[in-house]
Amino acid sequence: MPYMMAGYPDLETSLAVAGAYVDSGADLIELGVPFSDPLADGPVIHAAATAALEGGATLSTALETCRSVADRIPVVVMVYSNMVLAQGGATEFAGLIRAAGAAGAIVPDLPLGQAEEVREAFAAEGLAMVPLVAPTTSAERRAEICKVARGFVYVVSTVGTTGERAEVPAALAELVAATKADASTPVAVGFGIGSAEQAAEVGRIADGVIVGSRLVRAVEEAGSPAAAADAVASFLSEARVALGR
């Protein structure tokens, strides 16, 4: 499940990267929508969001990228609650992303108990609202989160923001197993996965592997839309081999 920042560094590159994800065998795209105050994103993704905004990226242009591939692969948009509210509310936002072909959304700053209106609006449009579970989530709350999950449960591998890590946390296997026991949907892991070997390690315990900062960094270093597409395709090919797919 590769992540990308929509509109980074420009719309042409964004479209090229999304197409490369599809052609490289991705199972789902997590499409980040640039936002000025991202709470969950580390320095690489935060910098990409800032650059995309400075280049004129908006929710509308992000949904162009979604629309370009949504007929070939599920796309889950990653947004913050301010974006939902800025479109007139949950119902309007759900209709907007559904019209672009999105399969669902992740709204990391809408925790359980504060997201019911959004969840209901998404469900009415046939969209999944993907919840997050962290290492700090209590067992009782994790069970409640898994009960309302649609699409998949996103397990945050480590405390902190997104970004590549030197190793997969030792406690992750236990957290994933506990989440699987609670969930009726697949369980995917993100945050900190920066190599094909780490993707394979996580793939042995989880149903899905989300790679973000490593791929955004590859786009940053590429220098052109074609080079960016080649760079992300190369990483995904390595990851699929490591995963035995």
Structure tokens at 220: 């940053």
Reference 94, options 109, 79, 73; nearest CA is 79
Q: How confident is the model at residue 168 (pLDDT cuts 50, 70, 90)?
A: confident
Q: How confident is the model at residue 167 (pLDDT cuts 50, 70, 90)?
A: low
Better-scored residue on pLDDT, 162 or 238: 238
Any residues with CB less than 8 A from the CB of 226 and at least 6 apart, and which? 16
Which of the residue ranges 93-97, 127-131, 238-242 would you say has the lowest mean pLDDT? 238-242
Which pLDDT value is given to residue 162? 52
Q: Which residue has the tokens 């609006």?
A: 121
pLDDT per residue as tens digits for the range 3-52: 999 999 999 999 999 999 999 999 999 999 999 887 767 789 999 999 99
Q: How confident is the model at residue 159 (pLDDT cuts 50, 70, 90)?
A: low
3-state SS assignment for residue 1? coil
Which pLDDT value is given to residue 41? 75
Any residues with CB less than 8 A from the CB of 85 and at least 6 apart, and which? none
Structure tokens at 234: 């190369």
Measure the CA–CA gap between 32 and 52, rounded to whole angstroms: 11
Measure the CA–CA gap between 46 and 41, rounded to whole angstroms: 6
To which H or E segment does residue 190 belong? Answer: strand 187-190
Which pLDDT value is given to residue 184? 96
Is the sign of the CA dihedral 159, 44, 212, 77 positive or negative? positive
Q: Could you tell me how many helices (H) and strands (E) the chain has, helices first?
A: 11, 9
Mean pLDDT of 95-104: 97
Reference 78, options 46, 51, 55; nearest CA is 46
Mean pLDDT of 174-202: 93
Asked if 127 contacts 105 with a C-beta cutoff of 8 angstroms, the reply is yes
Is 164 a residue whose pLDDT tops 70? Answer: no
Any residues with CB less than 8 A from the CB of 63 and at least 6 apart, and which? 77, 96, 97, 100, 102
Share of residues in the chain with pLDDT > 90 (%): 80
Measure the CA–CA gap between 179 and 126, rounded to whole angstroms: 24
Q: Which residues are catalytic?
A: 30, 41
Better-scored residue on pLDDT, 100 or 193: 100
Is 75 a residue whose pLDDT tops 70? Answer: yes
128-129 vs 132-133, strand pairing mode: unpaired
Average pLDDT, the chain: 92
